[in-house]
Structure 1
Amino acid sequence: MPCYQPNSNRPKWKYFEHCVSGSPMLAKCLLTIRPKMRIILIQPCILWLFLEATFSNLNMSAQQIFVTGANGFLGSHVIHQLLEKSYRVRGTARGAKVALVRENFASYGDKFEAVLVENIAMDDISEHLRGVHAIIHVAAPIPSKRDPKVILDGALAGTLDVIRQAEKAGIRKIIYTSSMATVRNPSGSLTDKDWNPATEEETLVASPYAAYMGAKTLAEKAVWKFADEHKHVDITVLNPPCLFGPFVPGFRIPKPDYAALSTNLYIYQWLTKKGGRAFPKVLGNADIRDVARIHVEALTSDPESSVGRKRLLIASTHDGNYKEAVLFVADAHPELRDRLVDANTAPQFPADKFLVDLKRVEDVTGVKADSYYTWKETILDTIDSLLAVERSWATQGYEIEIPALEDYGL
């Protein structure tokens, strides 16, 4: 609670407003009462606020959140922020990555648990859902050169299997990570009513990135169909664009695994002059930390019955100009100038950001648009994180060979 400072410009009643549940009228009335009587009246209010905050934190720490894709770029950030807010987290990973995830979050002790789920589209995860309060389903196939059917099955079957098992387990709160790719359409309109027109037939014969866009679109449509048929389950869908930002503290990629860099591979490409495309083909971005925070805050959002359908489009409020970004890096890291791509080769788009309704995001989750990371912060934090990964590989004697974006379907 803020202390009242006699010489401050803050009105006296503003201090008391915090003690009476935010009521200006009651706060002003307190000023008409003798100081000793005022203290007697305020003390129960202060005690109530203290107990409310305490039990709120206890309730949060008692909640178990199930997060898919714990070793992924976004999944690891969501888990990190959940743990920082005192939630208990159970995260999924595949194969050897389970041990790596446990290592990444070992400092949180028994607040974090990693479980093996090899195939999110087929595995029975019912045992892992025991005691779970809510699910944040982040895991999904990323753009790749694999068969489009594999990408579609992973996105569609994987998503439906998770939410069906969650509903059967009695879980009533689901946060699903979709993509801005499901919204983009020939009209250029970007609202929560817009859809990518891709069909299943088109997706199955599409290029790697188009197949990813189609798969995410069909998966999200299936989620909303499920939501319409299961009104007792509160579902929030988040639609972010291309994500950049640093890896979470403690995140480790033991040996060169460029796919693990996720969309940060775009920025890593700027550190090679071997030719080829070094920038995304489309505009729009968001900082991974902002998007993770919106996921976490969505857990406490009001139900659809109160706020309407929660399909939230997310994008940075800042212009994401790639030429400017390369110059940020050159200025901050003179030692990289000989490695950096020519800033003049950066694409020029009609606009440098997606214009979406971020007020809607704030209304539902409480995350304000003016709290988002700046473009410069995002870029420089990402570069610093990538350089740290590169140094760890070089220290172990690995040869660094930055691959072409096309090799990863980007």
Structure 2
Amino acid sequence: MTVDVCPSKIRIEVKARGESACRPSLESPDFWDLMLSISSFKRAIESAGGAARSAKLEAVKRGFSIYGNSVEVVAMDDLIHGQYPDAFKDAGALIHIAAPLIGREATPKAALDVSVLGSLNIIKQAEKAGIKTIGYVSSIFAASTALLQGDFTPVNENQWLPITREDVLNNKDVDGATVYIAEKALSERAVWDFVDQHPHLEVTTVNPPFFYGPFAPGYRAPYLGDPFSSNNLSTLAILWNLIHPKGPIASPYFVDVRDVARALVASLNSPSTAQVGRKRILMTSEWVQPSEIAALVKQHRPELASRVCEAMQEPITGLTNITDNKRLKEVLGLEPTPWRKTILDGVDTLVAVENAWKARGVAISL
């Protein structure tokens, strides 16, 4: 998805594919993040537009209807080749947050093409339209995936995951997670290569891990549909493990989704590259042992104590933050949301979804 910040409104542009290839339920964490971004924009500017997929257009419009005429939604049917001059008309800035989720494209090649070539196409059109300020959502895994193997060596903004397009396409057994990580790493590299060729652009990338926290206003997908699909919880489905006693561990490698939204908004008025250097912002919440997360829920949500995941008691050797959020503070002037608030707000959101379905006579679970 793409967000154009216009003088009078926010324009949401929705990327489209065939009806069978996308879910109108809008389960993407990109959409979740975008909804929170719009909420932040509403606080930051008087009135504010973005791109969605045609098949999702009406659902996106319904989601943003709570903002009245302040949000305009248009569709982009082809991120790679499509030309959309009207989408960038009168826009002063761009936020681009699209990347196909795991398994959403038919082949690894298609996923890489949409992410890399699609991102470049949108940014090139924005630059041609005179837009100079761009925010872009990447991933901390574009810098390193070592933490997934239990290596918590500090990571900085100068590091890159050593993965190539050929690594993905030549591996017939490549898994979806590797493809997605490659999408993020290779598309961000392509964006920075373009910026190197167009130094007048002011680009900020934010590189977070998994998103936890509450859903955004207007995001109704988890409450809709028949049957229930945990896909609609986005990455909050990972946190849901926390209140499933026999489930797997709820990953402690997270960031508050509201912080990502705040970072995107702050990037639009951040100091120039000439002042602060390349604005590649690695960001995380404070990471603590799973047992601390479990204890928090037991203490502050005692009615859930019997549901807390048993696997959360097992320690993770050497667990520590891999980034100090220094650039988040220096460049964007932000501090991470306290981890306890992120966890409790996320758990409360999940319980609200459970209760809504229970009221319909449906017990939901992972």
Normalising by structure 1, report the TM-score: 0.74
**CA offset digits 1:120-167 (Å, max 9, x no partner):** 334333221111111100121233475322321222122111101111
1:141 equivalent to 2:108? Answer no
1:360 equivalent to 2:327? Answer yes
CA distance in 2, matches of 1:399, 1:118: 37
CA distance in 2, matches of 1:362, 1:117: 34
Match of 2:122 in 1: 162
CA distance in 2, matches of 1:346, 1:93: 41
1:196 to 150, 161, 168: 161
Between 1:147-156 and 1:390-399, the stretch displaced more is 390-399
- Partner amino acid for 1:319? W
CA distance in 1, matches of 2:317, 2:108: 28
Between 1:223-232 and 1:333-342, the stretch displaced more is 333-342
Match of 1:62 in 2: 7
Match of 1:387 in 2: 351
Structure having the higher Rg: 1
- Partner amino acid for 1:340? V
CA distance in 1, matches of 2:134, 2:192: 12
Q: Secondary structure at the match of 1:328?
A: helix
Match of 2:19 in 1: none
Residue 274 of structure 1: CA displacement? 5.2
Distance 1:75 1:145, change over 3 A: closer
1:279 to 244, 250, 253: 250
Matched pairs, number: 335
- Partner amino acid for 2:333? G
Higher relative contact order (CA 8 A, sep 6+): 2
Percent identity reads: 33
Residue 342 of structure 1: CA displacement? 0.8
Match of 1:33 in 2: none
CA contact (8 A) 2:137 2:207 kept: yes
- Partner amino acid for 1:297? A
Residue 286 of structure 1: CA displacement? 1.2
1:301 equivalent to 2:270? Answer yes
CA distance in 1, matches of 2:236, 2:141: 18
CA distance in 1, matches of 2:166, 2:190: 16
Residue 345 of structure 1: CA displacement? 5.0
CA contact (8 A) 2:6 2:90 kept: no
Map 1:10-409 → 2, pairs under 5 A: 62=7, 64-66=9-11, 72-95=31-54, 97-144=56-103, 147-184=107-144, 188-204=153-169, 205=171, 206-253=174-221, 254-255=224-225, 256-273=228-245, 275=247, 277-280=248-251, 284-316=253-285, 318-346=286-314, 348-356=316-324, 358-367=325-334, 369=335, 372-398=336-362, 400-402=364-366
Distance 1:195 1:61, change over 3 A: closer
CA contact (8 A) 1:65 1:87 kept: no
CA distance in 2, matches of 1:62, 1:132: 7
**CA offset digits 1:162-207 (Å, max 9, x no partner):** 1011112221111111110111166944111111001112223332
**CA offset digits 1:331-385 (Å, max 9, x no partner):** 33333334332154555141232233x2322222222x2xx22111111100111
**CA offset digits 1:262-315 (Å, max 9, x no partner):** 21110112333455x3433xx632111112111101101122233221111111
Gaps of 5+ in 2: 16-25
Q: Secondary structure at the match of 2:34?
A: helix
Distance 1:269 1:82, change over 3 A: same
Distance 1:362 1:401, change over 3 A: closer
Q: Secondary structure at the match of 1:135?
A: strand
CA distance in 2, matches of 1:181, 1:133: 30
CA distance in 2, matches of 1:245, 1:77: 11
Between 1:155-164 and 1:331-340, the stretch displaced more is 331-340
Gaps of 5+ in 1: 1-59, 403-410
Q: Considering only aligned residues, what root-mean-square deviation do their CA atoms show, in Å?
A: 2.6
CA distance in 2, matches of 1:128, 1:176: 17
CA distance in 2, matches of 1:399, 1:344: 24
Q: Secondary structure at the match of 2:80?
A: coil
Q: Secondary structure at the match of 2:49?
A: strand
CA distance in 2, matches of 1:189, 1:354: 4
